[in-house]
Structure 1
């Protein structure tokens, strides 16, 4: 078996590849990593092809002899690249894959931005049958279109595809910095969109923990997944007949409740709470289908997510760096 891997240098790719190569079930598999801006090292089982998903020749060469595809590459909020790379690239991959005599399975890593994460009120748990509702921006739009394209190729051509839809993916100390009021904040929402500069400075100085409230005034509940759990879901789906033509929500079973986060950090670290009103909506991604069909279950719950983030000791050679805009 031969696996084409896109996004190998990203957060998920860097965690997936070593575990995949060590897993006994995949000991006879080889990997070709399609890289563009950043590269990975080659080995006896891993070869690297440099090029862009927007180039038909590169895509065709990358799929030569490939049996399985794991597509994780993304362009985030990059309007200049979104059509040429994300959409055209997905189309080129699907076209080449469906025509390949060796093709067996195409796995797409999607995102909960395809269901708007906290931007839209669903009023019920979000299942794989819930309507797609992108939030503003080109990245969310691409994730909707990618899901739909793979779904339609399954219908049109009988392609064996699988989409694993993940919410915000956490590793190392990500969650700690996602809660920071300082200039080192990771991700969003931007505090400046919700509160004034004086409040931000005061909360940053006291190491306060945000207790965001949703549009109803209740504590906001938002979905996360630890990268370790996502990697295990990918390994469970690869070459698994139970994953055939399936869409699966891959997330923590319980959404993170910001009041529970604040209470836990107050109790264990003595951190003060900062109440922040937001226009956002509490939602729950339902992972029951993945637990039933794939035999997968997340191991990192909210308390474990907090403990991993606060206990992580970052090496000086591994500075926090955002590789993409948005």
Structure 2
């Protein structure tokens, strides 16, 4: 309870972001066509990203929603596409459906290391006097739509076309790494540009470490928050294994480290074992609040029957290998969801006669 109380502000902030997403279907568009039609980027200074979602996207009650990420340590000014009374719903400290401030006109100044989300309803656009009580309406309108739209979108749309070629691009956005002072890191400017491209192309972000089979990759707190606020997934891709890391449930004060390391072959394996370790502020993460996705490249010369392939996890408490359920073999990779760091290996399990 004491640890929970230390992070009350952060917990409330993320609860507010979840509430906001549920209340605004525009943040839950599921097709590339919808995104291309409704989302457009705004001019923004270096190390910042700004975009607007227009046209009551996905049946949203807000005519326009503007989102600004500022990774600079100093404030930036953004020109919004429409004059009006913009309702500030997220300011980097608080988030939700409550109006934190009314920003009049079409200019907004976003503090350093902050994210702003602003809403402009149809009734407010183009008018000199948008309304006397903007704070009352936002609390009502969002409550009407969430009861209808969320049930349609989250139950049907994601399942109807999760991988359809017309709506999902064939290429993800690649970001490189560099080695600085004994650490593998990402350039923040490259990350911001990658997020911009991924949002525009409806893609995921791939951090490619090239031909290396092991990497210890460090993210700053600002980079973690930038990825989290963008809503994008990111993969770390090595020469022998890939991992999709869920950052939504990761809380850091300084740094987040992903250590993906090739270890050795074990008896019956069809590829080397990989150790996955995660650290928040130097402390190991022993259990994931959201599952990661691990893909291990399989040596085809060692495979007799691909339907017999499994992923095993070494249980350090019981000192033995255990099968992880749900592994899928496709395109030379064995992919499985994992709920904890540890050592994993692809094996072929033969049925005893």
TM-score if structure 2 supplies the norm length? Answer: 0.28
Between 1 and 2, higher relative CO (CA 8 Å, sep ≥ 6) is seen in 1
Higher strand fraction (1 or 2):
2
In terms of Rg, which structure is larger? 2
Higher helix fraction (1 or 2):
1
